[in-house]
Chains A and B, each alone.
Chain A
């Protein structure tokens, strides 16, 4: 009998996720062994129309990475949803917007302007993209940018979420294993909508650093001063997001002496990732004097960036006001 079909797609994202998948070493052979890769723009040459031609639900597993930034992204998201039995929001971008989601702090028009008119751009005729344009070879179409980037589940129904920027290879391997097990009837799929390839607690759970009762009198950048290699970074005033970030990465950054920046997104059941950090950080500030508190908070120069680096599009407010005002 023919192998179950596998697809992977790359919407608004950096491509790191594809690398991560290839990074699972010999496990990639299992993928090949167990699946028939029908659609994977970076790996195999399939055209959209080929996918459109497939019967609905023909694909068993689709790993969709990247957010929905333009009409092409949305079209393919909907298409793959129709064609796939299991659609996985793969990686931070698809799950919660990730770095591309930070563009939600500015209106789309500004983004286009920045892209086409800043010094970094060589654009002598000051050209702007157009959705339709006729060239001698015929008419070409360029995707239309949306006012904001949306997460996959804000556009289509998603079966599973796999967080991480990118997801850790050992986690991907584990998921591949799981699916293979399921195929061989050796395992059950987790309930729809659940997060796979990650833990249920937060990074601290896997973090080797010592921790005590916290009482913070100042926040500092991690560079330019001695850092106790044993002690919890937050206790040293380093704004480490590990406390609120889903476990599963084996606390890579903190164990390596860098603060967690939160790529694994919120813990199980958390509604707004940033809110958790705001309240947690504020809770352990050791001051009752408004001015002193403000002075201490100056140690977090860009709270929005600190708290929503990966989660903005997936947060309650989803975007900066300037972006939604235009919407």
Chain B
């Protein structure tokens, strides 16, 4: 592994626009950062915040959600629902002290392969700048947390004279 931080990103794409945009980026041989792994949903409206939390909890450093442009939803208006959930989700993450920027919503039509590619590369850099989330390592999956000495720093253990 190189010493530069390579973020792990999970991408949720709409089957009708952004997933096809990703395909287009491929057929056009556009290059973008390999840090992203895509999951195909029928619609950005299918995106359940659970998916995002799950990804972050399981080791992803960022999540990219992509859908059809407002007004162009394959299912008429579901991307607006995704938009609302996204807003509330980011606010919640903020409350949890997680940088909301780790979750990004991108509109990309089936024609916007180039946009998709550049958005991915840009997002990877944004996350790289934010640094690792390493949530999984810390608390994930019942790993025994280290104890008081670290929580309550040693020096604090002494009585202040």
Contacts and interface: CB of A to CB of B under 8 A. Distances in A.
A282 B87 contact: yes
Contact of A128 (B50, B91, B98, B157): B157
A145 B98 CA distance: 23
Interface residues of A, number: 58
B125 interface: no
A324 B88 contact: no
B148 A144 contact: yes
Contacts of B148: 70-71, 108, 131, 144-146
B85 A282 contact: yes
A131 B87 CA distance: 44
Contacts of A275: 48-50, 53
Contact of A307 (B84, B92, B138, B151): B92
A62 interface: no
Interface in A212-235: none
Given A147-B145, A288-B80, A304-B96, A128 B87 contact: no
B131 to A, nearest CB: 10
B113 to A, nearest CB: 25
Given A107-B151, A125-B159, A275-B49, A148 B84 contact: no
Interface in B80-121: 80-81, 83-85, 87-89, 91-92, 95-98
A45 interface: no
A130 B50 CA distance: 40
B91 A297 contact: yes
Interface string A265-280: 0000001101110110
Given A278-B85, A316-B54, A127 B160 contact: yes
Given A109-B153, A281-B88, A317 B57 contact: yes
Interface in A277-327: 278-279, 281-283, 285, 287-288, 290, 293-294, 297, 300, 302-305, 307-308, 315-322, 324-327
B103 to A, nearest CB: 12
B96 A128 contact: no
Given A108-B148, A128-B158, A145-B152, A318 B57 contact: yes
A112 interface: yes
A324 B49 CA distance: 20
Given A108-B152, A317-B56, 6 more contacts: A105-B95, A281-B88, A288-B77, A303-B92, A316-B50, A320-B96
Interface of B: 48-50, 53-54, 56-57, 70, 77, 80-81, 83-85, 87-89, 91-92, 95-98, 133, 135, 138-139, 142, 145-153, 156-160
26 contacts: A71-B148, A108-B148, A109-B152, A127-B160, A128-B160, A144-B149, A148-B145, A155-B142, A278-B88, A288-B70, A288-B83, A290-B87, A293-B87, A294-B87, A297-B91, A303-B91, A308-B96, A317-B53, A317-B135, A318-B139, A319-B139, A321-B133, A321-B135, A324-B138, A324-B139, A326-B151
